[in-house]
Amino acid sequence: MEEPRIGVYICWCGTNIAKMVDVEYIAEEVKKLQNVVVSRNYKYMCSDPGQDLIIKDIKENNLNRIVVSACSPRIHELTFRKALENAGLNSYLFEMANIREHVSWVHTDRKEATEKAKSLVMAAIKRVGFHESLAKRSVEINPASLIIGGGIAGLTAALEIADTGKQVYLIEKKNSLGGNLAFVDLSFPDLSSVKQILDPKIEKINKHPNIKVFLNTEIDEIFGYVGNFETKLFENTKSEETLKFGNIIVATGLKPFDPSVIPEYAYGKLPDVITSIEFEKMLKEGIIRTKAGKEPKNIGIIHCVGSRNNKYNEYCSRTCCATGLKYANQLRDALPEAGIYELYGDMRVFGKGCEEFYTQTSRKDIVFMMFDQRNDLPKIKANTSKKDFNMIIEINEKLSGEELNIPVDMVVLMVGAQAQDNAKDISHAVGISMCGNAFYIERHPKLDPVATTTDGVYIVGSCQGPKGIIDSVSQTRAAVSRILGTIAKGSVQVEVTTAVVNEDVCCGCQTCISVCPYTAISFNPEKNISVVNEVLCKGCGTCGSACPTGAIRSRHFTDLQILSQIEGIMSLELEEV
């Protein structure tokens, strides 16, 4: 290996770092270290003059390794890597020491903060000497897309992509398109017809030359990587078809919560306690009747069924409150004389036009009652007296503090949302992760909300977390624009800090295979070794730490690099002892 010639740059970040860390002292100190050729401090390393400083030094002093000690690498690692590239140096011959978030912002003693910053810089200097050049790689993109799920999100995605002239394969496990919305009558907050949203889309899709729909079809396994995926489909378990595509949108939606597990609500025991899904069907048919065929005089609508309660699901299902209000509106129109009771924990109707919708609804002679959603659910009981109602809801009304009995003929349970039963199978097939509630995890909750940690796989709609039509469609269009962007570009850069198997050492124990979250490792029985697919590999390092043999090396995170980094930190302490 060439002798390292290291340039070290300590950033002031204005006063952000300099007020708590003696940047000049550190720059002077590290100058004494072996292999450090240049050591400077500068007000803003990330500025153009700051970057030019590095570029000039690389050229004039023949530097081959760079350490910038500044903010988090999450913010400016790419900036400085680009600077190295501009100077003709491989961008991986760079290491960043974070002395802002990790030092100046979190400490109050200038002397101690300076010493800590110094040891972090020493660690970076020790490490960077072992950095290796890594070559960038890119793969071509197949312009076809696979969309899993034929609900509002999947339908939107299919049309958006297909209308640009690209091929779309739309997979739906049921025998018809439309998803959960196909059973919904009106949408909130404008009470517009869902059918008018859905039907034209389905009709267009069925006729679209660029969309191939597969009904009654489930995804088993998907092979490949971004730009080059492949799967075999078994439509109706009859014909087999191999599809090739470059991107995947997972739009598998949600399933309703089953309220029979909540004893207080007696669902399944009392015939006129029904779910919002069942009630929606009545609304769609236009006939609201009890099981005995009578028109209900008093109706209770209970919110948060299965949601926001640690016994069931901790999260908010987001659409049920507004849907409950929608029912109150529809009931008031259908049964002008009926008593309508909204029983809620908290009223959560946020979003454009939704608060106004709540206010309008509350003026329609609807009774709102609040209960303790976490500790004290209302109880639905059969009416045993001969009076003219078949059930009583017992509620401890939170705002008045009174115990109330409400006579009702029908109770609608606003059931929450849950991940699909086959969420895990899909996550395995496409190689994405699930959170504890089995909803899929986005790459970054704020900065990259529709991508996943597997390149080329996007999550939209309620499979990522419960949401309504507006959010689902927004997410879908975001994912579509990402996909069309990569298709337009024709190729994508793939991760270069991947894992690599040393064939001379790998013994074929296969410990690495099951730990890989990206199914990037397979076993080659002829050579008796594990093989990493470098396009699938994201360089997470799990296999490297799992490998008992030390045969797997994580590029840019080798044992040598990490141990020398530790040595850099420790050596400072040893000097002081």
Partner 1 sequence: MTTENKEKPKLKMAVYWGAACGGCCVSVLDVHEKLFDVVAAADLVFWPIALDFKYKDLEAMPDGHIDVTLFNGAIRNSENKYIAMLLRQKSKIMVAYGSCAHMGGIPGLANFSTKEELFKRVYFESESTLNSEKILPEPDFKVKEGDLELPVFYNDVMPLNKVVCVDYYLPGCPPQTERLLEVFMAIVNGSELPSKKSVIGAYDKTQCDECERKKTDNKKIKKFYRPWEIEDDGETCFLEQGVICMGPATRGGCGVRCIKGNAPCRGCYGPPPDSPDPGAKMMSAVATMIDANEDVEIDKIIEDIVDPAGTFYRFSLPGSIIRRKL
Could you count the other beta carbons within 10 Å of the beta carbon of residue 570?
Answer: 14
The pattern of x and - marking residues 325 through 354 that bind partner 1 according to CB under 8 A reads: ------------------------------
Q: How far is the CB of 506 from partner 1 (least distance, A)?
A: 8
How many degrees, rounded to 5, is the angle at CA 441 between CA 439 and CA 442?
A: 135
Q: Per CB under 8 A, which region of 51-59, 125-133, 474-482, 506-514 contacts partner 1?
A: 506-514
Q: How far is the CB of 553 from partner 1 (least distance, A)?
A: 8
Contacts of 79 (CB under 8 A, 6+ apart): 46, 51
Q: Which residue's CB is nearer to partner 1, number 25 or number 523?
A: 523
Q: Which residue's CB is nearer to partner 1, number 353 or number 517?
A: 517
Task: Render the burial of 519-550: b for 16+ CB within 10 Å, e for the rest.
Answer: bbbeeeeeeebbebbbbbbbbbbbbbeebeee
- Give me the residue label for tokens 């049920």: 320
Q: Is 462 helix (H, G, I), strand (E, B) or coil?
A: helix
The residue within the footprint of partner 1, chosen from 78, 106, 287, 505 (CB under 8 A), is 505
Contact 327, 279 (CB under 8 A): yes
Half-sphere exposure at residue 266, Cβ-oriented, CA atoms within 13 angstroms: 17
Q: Should residue 435 be labelled a site residue for partner 1 when binding is judged by CB under 8 A?
A: no
The residue within the footprint of partner 1, chosen from 33, 46, 484, 509 (CB under 8 A), is 509
Strand partners, 9: 40, 68
What are phi and psi for residue 282, nearest 5 degrees?
A: -60, -45
Tokens found for residue 442: 């986005």
Q: Which residue's CB is nearer to partner 1, number 126 or number 303?
A: 126
Q: Which residue's CB is nearer to partner 1, number 383 or number 522?
A: 522
Q: Which residue's CB is nearer to partner 1, number 216 or number 571?
A: 571
Contacts of 419 (CB under 8 A, 6+ apart): 254, 255, 434, 437, 438, 439, 463
The residue within the footprint of partner 1, chosen from 268, 514, 524, 573 (CB under 8 A), is 514
Strands (E), 397-498: 403-408, 410-415, 417-419, 457-459, 491-494
The residue within the footprint of partner 1, chosen from 523, 531, 534, 569 (CB under 8 A), is 523
Q: Per CB under 8 A, which region of 60-68, 346-354, 505-513, 569-577 contacts partner 1?
A: 505-513
User: What is the distance between the alpha carbons of residues 317 and 462, in angstroms, rounded to a whole number?
Assistant: 10
Q: Should residue 532 be labelled a site residue for partner 1 when binding is judged by CB under 8 A?
A: no
Q: How far is the CB of 551 from partner 1 (least distance, A)?
A: 7
Residue in 442, 44, 437, 135 with CA at minimum distance from that of residue 257: 437
Contact 554, 497 (CB under 8 A): yes
Q: Should residue 507 be labelled a site residue for partner 1 when binding is judged by CB under 8 A?
A: yes
Q: Should residue 517 be labelled a site residue for partner 1 when binding is judged by CB under 8 A?
A: no
Q: Which residue's CB is nearer to partner 1, number 193 or number 545?
A: 545
Q: Should residue 434 be labelled a site residue for partner 1 when binding is judged by CB under 8 A?
A: no
- The single-letter DSSP state of residue 180 is G
The pattern of x and - marking residues 232 through 261 that bind partner 1 according to CB under 8 A reads: ------------------------------
The pattern of x and - marking residues 463 through 502 that bind partner 1 according to CB under 8 A reads: ---------------------------------------x
CB burial class (10 A; 0-12, 13-18, 19+) of residue 335? Answer: middle
Q: How far is the CB of 533 from partner 1 (least distance, A)?
A: 15
Q: Which residue's CB is nearer to partner 1, number 279 or number 439?
A: 439
CA distances from 504 to 75, 356, 541, 546, 549 (A): 39, 69, 20, 18, 11
Q: Which residue's CB is nearer to partner 1, number 217 or number 542?
A: 542
Contact 13, 71 (CB under 8 A): yes
Q: Should residue 511 be labelled a site residue for partner 1 when binding is judged by CB under 8 A?
A: yes
Phi-psi region of 323 (alpha: psi -120 to 50; beta: other; left: phi over 0): alpha
Q: Should residue 510 be labelled a site residue for partner 1 when binding is judged by CB under 8 A?
A: yes
For every residue of 362-374, DSSP letters joined together read HTSS-EEEE-BTT
Q: Should residue 559 be labelled a site residue for partner 1 when binding is judged by CB under 8 A?
A: yes
Q: Should residue 513 be labelled a site residue for partner 1 when binding is judged by CB under 8 A?
A: yes
Residues 120-139 that bind partner 1 (CB under 8 A): none
Q: Which residue's CB is nearer to partner 1, number 132 or number 372?
A: 132
The pattern of x and - marking residues 534 through 553 that bind partner 1 according to CB under 8 A reads: --------x--xxxxxxx--
Q: How far is the CB of 541 from partner 1 (least distance, A)?
A: 11
> Would you tell me which residues interact with partner 1 (CB under 8 A)?
502, 504-511, 513-515, 523, 528, 542, 545-551, 559, 563
